[in-house]
């Protein structure tokens, strides 16, 4: 490594004289041009970087705005789809609830109708029983039709043949049909256990219960009911 030495007066003169030469002026101009070119390059780089930053910023803002708009649209669409799905689920649940209520109401209405029908039938039977008792009391001769119907169920009478009647009915039958029945082989007999309006037929091989309670039970059975015959108060 060389050690710089102080310049002599000649050397200093020589450098000063070289600086005054025409070629040195060219060097200065070239240096100035290079400096200007470098400055221009720096300015171009700065402008390019500034433009790039501005472009990036603008792109970011544009992308942010578009992203927000796209996010809003997507969020709106998702929210709308969710609302529609909720409404559909609510509508289905409401429809199911109304259907169940309708079925339950229909069942309860059917049960109420059936109960009302049974009550009306019981009421009708009670009224029929009361009317029958009153009719037989006012028109005891209706017993003759009951006897005729019971006798028709016997294709052949085989003695001994007994026709049992309430004592009061027995007097009526004897007065109206006594001779006819006795000629046909029937023996008329009073039975205090029988209510008025009915009879009991007995032969050697058959028995026909045409009493009011028995006829009432048969009527009840045909109607699907089981209400006992109530004897009228004496």
pLDDT in tens, 13-35: 455 554 455 555 556 666 676 67
Q: How confident is the model at residue 9 (pLDDT cuts 50, 70, 90)?
A: low
- The token pair at 175 is 């007065």
The larger pLDDT score, comparing residue 222 to residue 225, is at 222
Residue 108 lies in a domain: no
pLDDT higher than 90, residue 171 = yes
- Strand 207-209's sheet: what is its strand order? 186-190, 161-165, 199-202, 207-209
Phi, psi of 159 (to 5 degrees): -65, 155
CATH of the domain at 139: 3.30.2320.30
Partnered with residue 180 across adjacent β-strands are none
Across 85-96, b (16+ Cβ under 10 Å) vs e yields eeeeeeeeeeee
Distances (CA, A) of 221 to 81, 94, 100: 65, 46, 37
Residue 139 lies in a domain: yes
Residue 192 lies in a domain: yes
Residue 200 lies in a domain: yes
Peptide bond just before 160 cis, omega within 30 deg: yes
Could you say which DSSP state residue 196 is in? T
Residue 33 lies in a domain: no
Number of domains in the chain: 1
**Site of tokens 């030495």:** 5
pLDDT higher than 50, residue 218 = yes
Residue 228 lies in a domain: no
Residue 95 lies in a domain: no
pLDDT tens by residue, 191-204: 999 988 889 999 88
Distance between CA atoms of residues 45 and 50, nearest Å: 8
- Residue 134 domain boundaries: 114-222
Positive/negative CA dihedral, 80, 82, 83, 87: positive
Question: For the residues 159-182, what does the mean pLDDT come to?
Answer: 91
Q: How confident is the model at residue 234 (pLDDT cuts 50, 70, 90)?
A: very low
Residue 154 lies in a domain: yes
CB 206 within 8 A of CB 154: yes
**Site of tokens 């085989």:** 158
Distance between CA atoms of residues 85 and 133, nearest Å: 71
Q: Where are the alpha helices (DSSP H) in the chain?
A: 9-19, 22-138, 143-152, 167-183, 212-222
Partnered with residue 161 across adjacent β-strands are 186
């Amino acid at each position: 490594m060389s050690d710089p030495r102080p310049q002599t007066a000649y050397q200093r003169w020589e450098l000063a004289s070289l600086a005054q030469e025409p070629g040195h002026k060219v060097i200065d101009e070239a240096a100035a041009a290079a400096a200007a070119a470098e400055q221009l390059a720096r300015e171009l780089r700065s402008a390019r970087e500034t433009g790039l930053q501005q472009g990036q910023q603008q792109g970011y803002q544009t992308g942010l705005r578009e992203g927000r708009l796209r996010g809003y649209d997507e969020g709106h669409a998702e929210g709308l789809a969710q609302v529609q799905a909720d409404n559909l689920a609510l509508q289905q649940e409401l429809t199911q609830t109304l259907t169940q209520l309708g079925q339950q109401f229909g069942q309860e209405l059917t049960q109420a109708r059936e109960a009302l029908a049974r009550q009306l039938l019981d009421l009708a039977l009670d009224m029929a029983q009361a009317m029958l008792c009153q009719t037989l009391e006012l028109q005891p001769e209706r017993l003759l039709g009951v006897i005729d119907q019971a006798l028709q169920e016997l294709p052949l009478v085989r003695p001994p043949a007994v026709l049992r009647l309430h004592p009061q009915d027995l007097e009526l039958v004897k007065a109206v049909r006594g001779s006819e029945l006795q000629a046909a082989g029937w023996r008329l007999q009073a039975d205090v256990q029988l209510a008025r309006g009915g009879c009991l037929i007995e032969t050697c091989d058959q028995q026909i219960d045409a009493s009011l309670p028995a006829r009432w039970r048969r009527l009840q059975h045909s109607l699907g009911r089981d209400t006992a015959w109530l004897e009228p108060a004496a």
